[in-house]
Amino acid sequence: MKRLAIAFSLLAALTVALAGSPAAHGDDPEPRAVAVTVYNGNLGLVRDERRIALERGVFTLPFRDVAALIDPTSVAFRALRAGGSVDVLEQNYEYDLLTPQALLEKYVGEIVTLVTLVDGEERAVAAKLLSTQGGTVYQIGDSIALNPPGRVVLPALKGDLRASPTLVWTLASERAGDEPVEVSYLTGGLTWKADYVATLSADDRELDLGGWVTIDNRSGTTYPDAKLKLVAGDIHRAPQESREELAGRALAMADEAASPSAFEERTFFEYHLYDLPRPTTIRNNQTKQIRLLESATVRTAKVYRLAGAPWYYTQRYGGEKGLKVGVYQEFENRERDGLGVPLPAGTVRLYKADADGTLQLVGEDRIDHTPRDEKVVLKVGEAFDLVADRRQTEFEVVASGHVWEEAFEVVIRNHKQEDVVVQVVEPLPGDWRMLSNSHDFEKLDAFTVRFDVPVKAGGEATLQYRIQIRY
């Protein structure tokens, strides 16, 4: 019982050391203001304003609760009142964190206390810790114990372990007293993406579009009541010089602004900036969603498209049956069509109400960053009731093998109860010349043509054309 009392005394002392030890001078100052800018591509810029206690002369100051994935080379320190009277002489980033395993490793080769349960009673035994690799190895008297049951009690904290990642500065100050400072740095582990919900009207000619921002914080710290900004665009990143998860070089931080809406959008350099007017707490290991775009009714068009391939024209080609016809929804990102706002890259999910009014998912697609007045094309899926067959009806080699004359036939069957128009898009290799065609075509670019083929409900239509290809 005497040994048991000693063990509990040691455990109590360790508990006090972990939870009740006073903070060192200047440790863990309360944040005054936090601002976070999140970029596409696992990059965040953090600005943290706090009050610190200055000492006259040279002294050491720990600055806690920074991101675990901070890029130490990007840290900028600025005293807001003292200005040039405070200099950073040295900076260390300490990320050897206080964990049970890390603390136990500090005691390898030393005597610790094992508390085990024997006959329903706890007993304390002195043991020498020999190893912590792949388990624990202890010497108890003349015996070696591998992973013994019970718990280990250590006499005190040991080493330079930190409860959280910490910047430790050596500062030189001309005066003493409280000083507000601003610390900014880049970090990995912060990402954001846009997600859109689109609801199609009954006739597929309008959609209601709403957008959400999803922010994922795996940077290793929490940002309380942060001023949040999002940057949409593809910024150039310098090649990484050290740890892969660290962010690139420092970037200028955007000015703050207020807005009555969920996000205020504006141009920023060659990108677009989205500014949340209210503070929000971004917790570590948290996924947060914030509304980006209020629902807007947008004019849209459903398009059926059958796409060809360049290799059809370079060889003898027997043909294919049962080809799928793609279904697309297209709309112009214009104010006159009900939208006209920059759309960050993200996933668009399209829904439509069925006969009893229940919304059903009809497809989803990703869009790239889309400026105003640009077209958005969404691949919804494949049409169930439209089927196409394609075959090569003629293939002739002329002019010493460098010129081909070929004929093709595309048959489209429409099992729907409504007339449709199917766009047949043909990518043509080399120098080409259309010799004959059953339907008019539009030249989309130097190597692509599009035929618009009307197909009656319950019927079929046949596209025929003859072409010369020269290499």
Question: Which of 334, 336, 366 lies closest to 350 in space, CA to CA?
Answer: 366
pLDDT higher than 90, residue 425: yes
Average pLDDT of the chain, as a whole number? 83
The dihedral over CA atoms of 339, 340, 341, 347, expressed in degrees to the nearest 10, equals 50
249 pLDDT higher than 70: no
pLDDT of residue 268: 74
In which band, very low, low, confident or very high, does the pLDDT at 187 lie, cut at 50, 70 and 90?
A: very high
Check residue 186 and give its pLDDT.
94
Backbone angles phi, psi at 29, to 5 degrees: -65, 145
What is the C-alpha separation between 453 and 154, in angstroms, rounded? 81
Mean pLDDT score, 299-315: 91
Average pLDDT, stretch 421-443? 95
For the domain spanning 301-333+374-470, the CATH number is 2.60.40
Average pLDDT over residues 298-312: 92
Question: Which region among 37-46, 92-101, 292-301, 441-450 has the lowest average model confidence (pLDDT)?
Answer: 92-101
Average pLDDT of span 307-320: 86
The closest of 157, 171, 190 to 35, measured between CA atoms, is: 190
- Please check the confidence at residue 16 and state whether its pLDDT lies above 50: no
pLDDT-derived band at 376 (thresholds 50, 70, 90) equals very high
Mean pLDDT of 452-458: 97
What pLDDT is stored for residue 157 in this prediction? 73
Share of residues in the chain with pLDDT > 90 (%): 46
Q: What integer pLDDT is reported at residue 204 of this predicted model?
A: 93
**Residue 251: what pLDDT?**
33
Confidence at residue 95, expressed as pLDDT on a 0 to 100 scale: 62
| pLDDT value, residue 194 | 92
What value does the mean pLDDT take over residues 9-36? 48
pLDDT at position 102 over 60: yes
Pick the range with the lowest mean pLDDT from 1-10, 140-149, 383-392: 1-10
So where are the chain's domains?
A: 100-153, 301-333+374-470
Residue 138: pLDDT above 80? yes
In degrees, rounded to 5, the angle at the alpha carbon of residue 425 between the alpha carbons of residues 453 and 380 is 90
pLDDT at 9: 38
Residue 241 clears pLDDT 70, i.e. is over it: no
Going by their DSSP bridges, the two strands 151-153 and 111-118 should be labelled as: antiparallel
Lowest-pLDDT choice from 60-69, 374-383, 458-467: 60-69
Residue 161 pLDDT > 70, yes or no? no
Query: Confidence class of residue 244 from pLDDT cuts 50, 70 and 90?
Result: very low
pLDDT of residue 218: 93
Average pLDDT (449-455) is 97
From 150-159, 170-179, 242-251, 423-432, the region with the lowest mean pLDDT: 242-251
Residues 386-403: tens digit of each pLDDT: 999 999 999 988 877 688
Residue 18, pLDDT above cutoff 90: no
Judged by average pLDDT, the poorest of 254-263, 270-279, 286-295 is: 254-263
Q: Cβ distance 464 to 435 under 8 Å? A: no
Which of 21 and 329 is assigned the larger pLDDT? 329
Mean pLDDT, to the nearest integer, of 266-291? 86
Query: What per-residue confidence (pLDDT) applies to 217?
Result: 95
Identify the CA nearest to 66 among candidates 37, 95, 39, 40.
Answer: 95
Cβ atoms of residues 124 and 139 within 8 Å: no
Quick one: pLDDT at residue 97? 56
Please give the pLDDT value at position 401: 65
Give the confidence band of 96 by pLDDT, cuts at 50, 70, 90.
Answer: low
Residue 13, pLDDT above cutoff 50? no
